[in-house]
Amino acid sequence: MKLARKQRDVLSVEWVKLELIRTAYATRGGLISRMDPRVVIGWYVLFAMAPWFTHNLTTLACLFALASVFVVISRVGPLVLGLFVIGLGFELVYLVLAATLFGGDFTTFVALTEVTVKLGVVSLVSLAAFVSLDPEKLSDALLALHFPPAVAFAVSYGYRMMPILVEEFSTVMEGYQLREAPPIKGGVLGWRHLAHWAKIVVKAFYPIFLNTAKSVRTTVEALEARGFTFATIDPRGREIRLGSLRVTGLDIAVVAATVVAITGCYAIGAAWPLHRT
């Protein structure tokens, strides 16, 4: 139990939940949240492809900085940003280990870092893009790009339901923890605590399965009552739903500025090339 309590003090579950809700419902404002969702997806693809066409470390560093700028102006929350930084940190540790294992030296490490930076750029851009899009906008964009309607619905359902599901799960978990005594002795490395925790997690899924099945059925039946399937068959339904999407001057300006900035990164890279040696 000590283990669990320590974790909870560092990162309160309540805070994580609130932060997730804030992320899901988005709109901390920010530049990208005011853009047309289709353009945002195009912008994301453009930016995410950019780092894969070069091995020039200067260009990659510039792209990384540019992506960071976009993360700042789209006001990404501390939780997702924190998770990203932790992930990147673990990746670097793994790279060092891998490099030493393969008998590599600093060069190998730099070579591996290149891939990490590329993935980092992609991750930063997806942070900026997808945190700014609220579920409705994202699913509208997917629908506009001719994804199956079920996928578009799934995205918006997932974003909306996730905080509720997490809350429900933590309530059930707490119920099980209150009902079941934790092991008295920890054993080697506290494996008994781990086993106990794992058992409770698995057990908690039993009521969650049934509850979620019930709420999913309610949702889908409510959708059907409003003609969800019919709307996917009749093209007019799609038109009505996508009628609100407008590409404005802001969208064009942001995409143009991004293209110029990426070209600039490549130009800087060409002027002061830095390759692995």
Partner 1 sequence: MSTTLGTDERRGELRGTGGAGASTPQNLMIFVLSMALFGLSNIILEVVPDVSIGPVEFSVSYFVFIPLTLAALVSPFWVALGAPLGEIVFTDLLMGDFSGLAEVEGFIQMFLAIFVAGSIIRNPRSRGQIFLGALLIVGIDKFLSAVVDLAKVWIGVEDAEFVEGLPQSILFLESLGFGVDVIISGILFGAIPALWLIPELYGRLEPLLGLQPREPGKPFPGEAPKAFWFVAVAVLAGLGSFVFAFLEAVDLSFGVFEPDFLDAYGDVFLWVGAGAAVVVLAIAVILFAVWRKRRAGRGDLR
In whole angstroms, how close is the CB of 137 to partner 1 at the nearest point? Answer: 13
- Which residue type is seen at 236? R
64's CB contacts (< 8 A; 6+ apart) are 117, 120, 121, 124
Nearer to partner 1, 173 or 254 (CB): 173
Among all chains, which residue has been given the structure tokens 């609130």?
18
Nearer to partner 1, 158 or 175 (CB): 158
Nearer to partner 1, 227 or 253 (CB): 227
Annotate 54-65 with DSSP letters as a single string.
Answer: ---HHHHHHHHH
Among all chains, which residue has been given the structure tokens 């560093």?
61
In whole angstroms, how close is the CB of 158 to partner 1 at the nearest point? Answer: 4
Nearer to partner 1, 201 or 250 (CB): 201
DSSP code of residue 148: -
DSSP code of residue 22: H
Q: Which two tokens stand for residue 270?
A: 């060409």
In whole angstroms, how close is the CB of 171 to partner 1 at the nearest point? Answer: 13
In whole angstroms, how close is the CB of 116 to partner 1 at the nearest point? Answer: 11
In whole angstroms, how close is the CB of 269 to partner 1 at the nearest point? Answer: 12
Contact 213, 241 (CB under 8 A): no
Q: What is the dihedral of CA 44, 157, 137, 131, to 10 degrees?
A: -50
Contact 120, 61 (CB under 8 A): no
Establish how many alpha carbons lie within 13 A of residue 121's alpha carbon, considering only the half-sphere containing its beta carbon. 27
Within 10 Å of residue 161's Cβ, how many Cβ atoms?
A: 17
Among all chains, which residue has been given the structure tokens 């994202």?
138
Greatest alpha-carbon span in the chain: 67
In whole angstroms, how close is the CB of 123 to partner 1 at the nearest point? Answer: 6
Nearer to partner 1, 205 or 272 (CB): 205
Nearer to partner 1, 224 or 249 (CB): 224
In whole angstroms, how close is the CB of 218 to partner 1 at the nearest point? Answer: 10
Closest to 173 (Cα-Cα) out of 161, 185, 184, 165:
165
Nearer to partner 1, 104 or 249 (CB): 104
In whole angstroms, how close is the CB of 36 to partner 1 at the nearest point? Answer: 18
Backbone phi, psi, residue 106, to 5°? -65, -35
Nearer to partner 1, 115 or 256 (CB): 115
